[in-house]
Amino acid sequence: MRKPFVAGNWKMNLDLASARSLVEGIAKGLGATSKIDVAICPPSIYLFPMAKAVAGTPIALGAQNCWSEPSGAFTGEVSAAMVKETGCRYVILGHSERRNTIGPKDANGRVAGESNAMIAAKVRAVFDNGLIPIVCIGETLAQRDANETESVLTSQIAGSLESVKPDEAKKLVIAYEPVWAIGTGRTASTAQAQAAHAHIRGQLVERFGAGAANAIRIQYGGSVKPDNARELMSCADVDGALVGGASLKPDDFVKIIQETISANDL
């Protein structure tokens, strides 16, 4: 059985004091051990202090991004090796905000953010530095309405995972995050989530074979809250959650973790 994995994406929120008290609250709520994998992903400038804050707790650390090259003239970026040095285990890559929101806008207000090829290069750097990528994929509302969900997921998987070697595949984490559900309060129904996750699993089987594909954790992300976590986490191909807003509230985040444990009969 795949061990469920719940990660909190803090995005660009919190000051250092509130970050410390958030970790304290989560650790208190979790206790000494956790039956599932749990991680927090703070802004990169907080990774070193958060590594201290999670020491001795079951909480692992993840970064929200890194750059693909090992060093050089990349002002403002951090390499995978730098992220590794902080004590991180995971790196979120290709979040929809990095694909679609962050960056200069064209005349129509559209941002051409990170491409699948850029994400594949980052995935390579992350694995080469002994870290685990959480690769985000997901369709926009317009793409869902145009019946393009499966083709979008297929091409994001093909492009973003192009650099993954067969023996690394089972370590991968995929986060299915429908863009229309991120930070909007709208969630995918269990049927929509399971259908998308099953499609992703099928693509992973084609790419890496059944053995590896069945070991890969596929998180659901998009307005996961304590009151919808249980049903989403009960879906056969949903192996945990990537949580944004609710991960900033210790009680909500802990409750989502508890619901994930119950939903999986652990």
Nearest Cα to 176, choosing from 160, 155, 194, 197?
197
Interface residues with ligand PEP (CB under 6 A) are 9, 11, 177, 182-183, 221-224, 242-246
Of the two residues 139 and 177, which places its CB atom closer to ligand PEP in the complex? 177
Residue 238 CB, shortest distance to ligand PEP, in Å, is 13
Task: In whole angstroms, give the CA distance from residue 203 to residue 193.
Answer: 15
Of the two residues 168 and 259, which places its CB atom closer to ligand PEP in the complex? 259
Active site residues: 95, 177
Residue 206 CB, shortest distance to ligand PEP, in Å, is 26
Strands 173-176 and 5-9: unpaired
| 111 to 34, 103, 155: CA distances (angstroms) | 39, 6, 19
Residue 244 CB, shortest distance to ligand PEP, in Å, is 2
Long-range contacts, 162-166 (Cβ 8 Å, 24+): 162/116, 162/117, 162/120, 163/120, 163/121, 163/123, 163/124, 163/127, 164/123, 164/127, 164/208, 165/127, 166/208, 166/209, 166/212
Of the two residues 4 and 245, which places its CB atom closer to ligand PEP in the complex? 245
Q: Which residue is nearest to ligand PEP (CB)?
A: 244
Strands 37-41 and 5-9: parallel
Residue 86 CB, shortest distance to ligand PEP, in Å, is 20
Structure-token pair, residue 99: 């694909």
Of the two residues 9 and 65, which places its CB atom closer to ligand PEP in the complex? 9
Structure-token pair, residue 234: 């009960």
Residue 59 CB, shortest distance to ligand PEP, in Å, is 17
Q: What type of residue sits at position 73?
A: A
Of the two residues 199 and 249, which places its CB atom closer to ligand PEP in the complex? 249
Residue 181 CB, shortest distance to ligand PEP, in Å, is 6
Residues with Cβ < 8 Å from 136, sequence gap 6 or more?
A: 92, 93, 94, 95, 96, 99, 174, 175, 177, 221, 242
Which residue is associated with the tokens 């050089």?
72
Of the two residues 177 and 239, which places its CB atom closer to ligand PEP in the complex? 177
Residues with Cβ < 8 Å from 45, sequence gap 6 or more?
A: none
